[in-house]
Structure 1
Amino acid sequence: MKKVIIWVAALVITLSAAIYQRATGPTYPLKLDAELAGKDFDFKLTRSASIGEGCTVEIPKSDLFDKAEIVYRKYPGNFDFDTLKMQLSAENWQVQLPVQPAAAKLEYYAVLKNEDDKVLYQNMQNTAVVRFKGDVPKYILVPHVIAMFLAMLFSTAAALMAIFKIGNFRRIAFITLGLLVLGGLILGPIVQYYAFGDAWTGWPVGQDLTDNKLLITVLAWIGAVLLNYKKPRKWAVIVAAIVLLAVYSIPHSARGSEYNYDTGEVQTG
């Protein structure tokens, strides 16, 4: 029963960390709250797109406005804005942004108008930035996501076992390291290569924050496993688990690959 409680607690912590990381990441849709005619109107602007499928921006249909536009430009840099008129369908307004190279970004905002072209709302001060990425095969992406999630789960369980002296935390630590190597060091670079054209952009070749925090985590768990190889050292597992939890608090894809429109190259950091 105690082991069940340990695993349930580990699952709750892992799910909470995963949700927090996704919700605070730069690719999570931008939530906006517009006030139109004294009424609230909520909608989202996408911040992640595939070069294969493109980027479709959608705004829910409403009687509070009659026209909708998207104003966009290349990002970063001092580029001129262009305007696209959104088309009304049965349920929403939508428009397709121009497809960009992998790792390229577009900055954009929505403009809502009445039938006389009077601007009712625009989020110029809180723009969305969408990053384009290459299409990653599901047979690579799905195992990567599962392995990284399980690594967090087993890491948390190992720490709880060490703290409360329940179960074989050393064995769980070995499994954690294996999952990190599989999901992070093997599948991770393959995912990144498909998405942005480079397998590894962390230290020592780049400053990609996602790659660097993975490297720190793997090194912490290698140390924990080596220190526990011959005899139990609970503190090492607890420290490694804390490191993993700490890096999970850093938004995914922050300071990642970015296409430079001036040089035509992908840079990191």
Structure 2
Amino acid sequence: MRKVLLWILAIIITLLSAAYQRLTGPTYPFSGKVNFLGQEIKFRLPRSAENTENCQVVVSLPENLVGKVKGYLRFKRHKTDQTWNILAMEAEQDRLIGFLPKQPAAGKLDYYVHLVNGSQEISLTGEKPLIIRFKGPVSSPILLAHIIIMFLAMLFSARAGLGAVNPNEDPVRLARWTALLFFIGGFIFGPIVQKMAFGTFWSGFPVGHDLTDNKSLVAMLAWIAALASGRRKLIKRGWVVAAAIITLVAYLIPHSLLGSEFKW
């Protein structure tokens, strides 16, 4: 019964970390609302797009503002002194639609979305621009396998850590499964996904500073150290707990933070 409860707790930890990582990542759509001309406008703007076509940006208008409000996009390449480009958005029923030009894999654009009515104007993103990163198309089966295996690794990591603090349970098998899953998900499928999306197999240490790659590396090393702690005797429970904590901290770092970036 205790083992069942520990599995349930491990599942809860995994699901919470997955939700947190999903919602805090820099490529997750930027949602918000503004008040313009006495009306509330809700929006959801993209921060990631495939580079097979231009990226559509859509703003839905309240019924009272349809036909009264125009919009435009202002954008430039990220981290460049390029002048800002202006592109008018087209009105389609109750929506304003604009398109950001597609960029090379890992290419980024800074952009604003402005709404205008006569002399009144508002930026949906405020004073700071949004950053959108473009990527190449990734095979759905490969991406799905990568995601599933990485979160199975997180699940087994949490369960191994909980098992290590249970004196009646040997965490060795769980630790081995965790290390194996991290290797398959982070160092086989991960580089394949990275290559498809951004044109490189690895952009973490020592060749780059991609935190997604680096946190996979740190977690993998932590589990190797935990397993190595028991080479001549029983695995040390403290090392397993430490590896599980390191893994949890790594998963709480937003996905794609300091990710691959095209150098203009």
TM-score by length of 1: 0.90
Q: 1:70 aligns with which of 73, 76, 84?
A: 73
SS in 1 for 2:80: coil
Give distance in 2, aligned partners of 1:28 and 1:145. 16
Distance 1:129 1:28 in 2: 11
Partner SS, residue 251 of structure 1:
coil
One-letter amino acid of the counterpart of residue 234, structure 2: K
Partner of 1:170: 172
**Percent identity over paired residues:** 42
Alignment deviations for residues 102-160 of structure 1 (CA, whole Å, 9 cap, x no partner): 1111111111122xx33331135131110001111112111000000110011001111
The residue that corresponds to 1:220 in the other structure is 222
| Pairing 1:87-166 to 2, within 5 Å after superposition | 87-90=90-93, 92-114=95-117, 117-122=118-123, 123-165=125-167
Q: Are 1:86 and 2:95 an aligned pair?
A: no
Instruction: Report SS of the residue matched to 1:80.
Output: coil
Q: Which residue of 2 aligns with 1:267?
A: none
Structure 1's unaligned 5+ residue stretches are 262-269
Output the CA distance in 1 between the equivalents of 2:170 and 2:59: 51
How many residues align? The count is 259
Gaps of 5+ in 2: none
Contact 2:219–2:243 (8 Å) recurs in 1: yes
Which residue identity is paired with 1:93? Answer: L
Flag the 1:98–1:231 CA change in 2: closer, same or farther, 3 A: same
1:24 is aligned to 24
- Higher deviation after alignment, 6-15 or 163-172: 163-172
Q: Judge which range, 158-167 or 191-200, deviates more.
A: 158-167
TM norm structure 2: 0.92
Alpha-carbon distance in structure 1 between the residues aligned to 2:145 and 2:111: 33
Contact map agreement 2:226 2:235 (CA 8 A) in 1 = no
**Residue 200 of structure 1, aligned match among 196, 199, 202:** 202
For 2:170 and 2:70, how far apart are their aligned partners in 1?
A: 62
Q: Does structure 1 conserve the Cα–Cα contact (< 8 Å) formed by 2:135 and 2:198? A: yes
Residue 90 of structure 1, CA deviation: 4.1
SS, match of residue 191 in structure 2 = helix
Partner Cα distance (1:212, 1:241) in 2: 16
Aligned partners of 1:102, 1:223: CA distance in 2, in Å? 35
Secondary structure at 1:181 match in 2: helix
The CA distance in 1 between the partners of 2:253 and 2:116, in whole Å, is: 38
| Partner of residue 190, structure 1 | 192
- Cα distance between partner residues in 1 of 2:8 and 2:54: 39
* Structure 2 residue 15 is the aligned partner of structure 1 residue 15: yes
Cα deviation, residue 166, structure 1: 5.5
Residues 1:231 and 2:230 aligned together: no
Query: Taking structure 1 as reference, are residues 90 and 225 closer, same or farther at Cα in structure 2, changes over 3 Å only?
Result: farther
Tell me: CA distance 1:166–1:66, structure 2 relative to 1, closer, same or farther (3 Å). Answer: farther
SS where residue 184 of structure 2 aligns?
Answer: helix
Q: Could you tell me whether the CA contact under 8 Å between 1:105 and 1:132 is conserved in 2?
A: yes
